């Protein structure tokens, strides 16, 4: 920077987040401002009038024309970086400039809703303090929108169809990127920090790669070809909500980390590969939908039912069985929660007998036939309990002999070297019950192990 432009340096985020009073103070009586962004400092010319903006565009266009005509000539440098402190509406005069707009900070609203000749819009290193609107369904639209290394502090609203929207290394905050009633477009976002809201749209492709997602909302949307979310991170306190999404092509969902909350509803991704392993790293915590401090069981069950559908396509069966166990547990908890709202004898029967027995037998003892460890623990506990009974029922026995008799009875081996006295019918009945339990529980254990490990 020259000595004329030396001044206090202002951080870009400070400028974009400034309220009206602070903004007036920062820009008061200044023609230039030094802005720091990513440890680099640039000088910007301040534009406060529409006529000054027009002159800036003409000077910049003339300068670029001279550079293209002869690279051998030494062209006097022109500061193309500008802080535009006026509301922008597209007109014919600035239309061509939108083909390659760079190094500009827009402090007011920007309406880009009229294009006569452009085939694409290209913005690089541009920053927007207030909301931006692209598109008008009544006029012909450009074929391509490209955003690179930009910042949108409030809202980026796209209300009409672009053939291709390409966003890279861009930060979209506030209400984020909103696409409404888009038909046939393609959206690709890479290496960006984003909030996205897509509603009532039909897209050919939807691709998110290496992005940090603050919020992602998809509602009533159809994706024809590629649906790909790869190497993405859902940020802490972030929210991923997909409702009524239909995808007919191939796709992939592969998050590196999910720190926020997830809510899924009516999601049809039949040909999509989902990395379930990433979702288990936090013990499925992001998929529990909460209202205040309590769990919304209906929404949470819907999440896990969709996850279960995805997990069935995985090579490792353990994921689908783990999710199936969670579904069984949530179903019981929802039934108990609904029962607490009832009254009468049925309520207390369910509360004191039905649901406690369900919890003990199906969930803890059998693990909903999804966890072989639970059934193995039940088998060992059963053998031990019956061994204690035999210890106090047999005459002249020892703990080892009681445990041995319990084991061979449970497994129905029955060597006959130890047997109940013939006059002790209650002990004989007890041994018969243990043998019956052994047949049942060993069958359950075998089925559960086969479900988990045999392809």
Q: How confident is the model over 253-269, as pLDDT tens digits? A: 999 999 999 999 988 87
Tell me, rounded to whole angstroms, the distance of Cα 20 from its chain centroid: 35
Residue 145 placed within a domain: no
Is residue 5 very low, low, confident or very high in pLDDT (cuts 50, 70, 90)?
very low
pLDDT reported for residue 63:
63
CA dihedral of residues 402, 405, 410, 416 (deg, nearest 10): -160
> Dihedral (C-alpha) 403, 406, 412, 417: value to the nearest 10 degrees?
70
Residue 2 has pLDDT above 90, yes or no: no
Instruction: Quote the crossing angle between the two packed helices 399-410 and 372-393, to the nearest 10°.
Output: 130
From CA 167, how far away is CA 145, in angstroms rounded?
8
CB 199 within 8 A of CB 182: no
- Does some domain include residue 339? no
255: which strand partners?
232
Q: Domain with 430 in it: what CATH number?
A: 1.10.287.70
pLDDT at 64: 62
- Read out DSSP for 415-428? -SSS---TT-HHHH
Q: Which residues pair with 187 in a beta bridge?
A: 165, 206
In a domain, 150, yes or no: no
**Alpha helices, H only, 295-424:** 297-311, 318-339, 345-349, 355-358, 372-393, 399-410
Assess if residue 444 is contained within a domain: yes
Which range of residues forms the domain containing residue 385? 372-453
Q: In total, how many domains does the chain have?
A: 1
Dist. CA 252–CA 191, nearest whole Å? 17
Question: Binning pLDDT at 50, 70 and 90, where does residue 420 land?
Answer: confident
Question: What is the rounded CA–CA span in Å between residue 304 and residue 326?
Answer: 8
**Reported confidence tier of residue 3, pLDDT bands at 50, 70, 90:** very low
State how far the Cα of 159 lies from the Cα of 181, in Å rounded to an integer.
7
Which residue did the predictor score with more confidence, 157 or 39? 157
* Assigned domain for 399 exists: yes
153 part of a folded domain = no
The larger pLDDT score, comparing residue 112 to residue 220, is at 220
Taking CA atoms, 79 is separated from 51, 140, 226, 313, 425, in Å, by 17, 33, 42, 57, 103
Least Cα distance to 190 among 158, 134, 231 occurs for 231
pLDDT in tens, 73-126: 444 444 578 899 988 876 545 666 666 788 899 999 988 766 555 567 888 999
d(CA 288, CA 159): 33
d(CA 151, CA 160): 21
Distances (CA, A) of 343 to 300, 305, 334: 26, 30, 16
**In 3D, which of 90, 93, 145 has the Cα closest to residue 115?**
90
Mean pLDDT score across all residues of the chain = 86
- On whether residue 288 sits in a domain, the answer given is no
- Strands 151-152 and 132-134, how do they pair? unpaired
Q: What is the pLDDT of residue 352?
A: 94
Q: With bands split at pLDDT 50, 70 and 90, how would you rate the model's confidence at 142?
A: low
Nearest to 7 by CA among 38, 47, 42, 53: 42
Tokens read off for 46: 């301040």
């Amino acid at each position: 920077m020259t000595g004329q432009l030396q001044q206090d340096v202002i951080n870009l985020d400070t400028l974009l987040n400034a309220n009206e009073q602070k903004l007036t103070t920062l820009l008061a009586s200044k023609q230039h401002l030094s802005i720091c962004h990513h440890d680099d400092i640039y000088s910007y010319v301040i534009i406060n009038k529409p006529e000054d903006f027009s002159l800036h565009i003409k000077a910049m266009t003339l300068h670029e024309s001279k550079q293209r005509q002869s690279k051998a000539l030494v062209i006097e440098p022109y500061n193309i970086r500008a802080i535009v402190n006026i509301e922008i509406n597209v007109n014919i005069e600035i239309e061509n400039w939108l083909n390659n707009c760079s190094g500009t900070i827009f402090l007011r609203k920007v309406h880009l809703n009229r294009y006569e000749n452009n085939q694409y819009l290209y913005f690089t290193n541009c920053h927007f303090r207030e909301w931006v609107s692209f598109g008008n369904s009544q006029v012909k639209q450009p074929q391509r929108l490209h955003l690179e290394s930009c910042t949108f502090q409030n809202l980026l609203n796209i209300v009409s169809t672009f053939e291709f929207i390409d966003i890279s290394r861009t930060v979209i905050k506030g209400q984020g990127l909103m696409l409404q009633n888009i038909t046939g477009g393609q959206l690709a976002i890479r290496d960006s920090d984003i909030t996205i809201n897509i509603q009532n749209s039909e897209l050919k492709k939807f691709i998110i790669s290496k992005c940090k997602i603050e919020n992602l909302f998809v509602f009533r949307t159809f994706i024809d070809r590629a649906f790909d979310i790869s190497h993405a991170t859902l940020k802490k306190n972030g929210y991923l909500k997909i409702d009524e999404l239909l995808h007919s092509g191939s796709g992939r969902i592969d998050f590196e980390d999910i720190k926020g909350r997830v809510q899924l509803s009516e999601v049809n991704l039949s040909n999509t590969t989902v990395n379930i392993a990433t979702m288990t790293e936090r013990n499925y915590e992001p998929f529990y939908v909460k209202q205040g401090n309590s769990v919304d069981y209906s929404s949470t069950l819907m999440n896990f039912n969709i996850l279960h559908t995805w997990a069935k396509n995985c090579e490792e069966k353990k994921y689908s069985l783990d999710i199936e166990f969670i579904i069984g547990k949530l179903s019981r908890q929802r039934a108990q929660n609904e029962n607490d709202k009832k009254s009468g004898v049925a309520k207390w029967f369910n509360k004191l007998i039905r649901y406690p027995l369900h919890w003990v037998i199906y969930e803890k003892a059998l693990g909903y036939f999804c966890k072989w460890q639970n059934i193995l623990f039940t088998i060992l506990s059963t053998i031990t309990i019956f061994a204690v009974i035999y210890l106090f029922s047999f005459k002249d026995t020892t703990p080892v002999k009681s445990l041995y008799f319990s084991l061979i009875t449970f497994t129905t081996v029955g060597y006959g070297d130890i047997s109940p006295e013939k006059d002790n019918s209650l002990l004989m009945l007890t041994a018969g019950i243990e043998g019956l339990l052994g047949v049942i529980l060993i069958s359950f254990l075998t089925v559960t192990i086969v479900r988990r490990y045999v392809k």
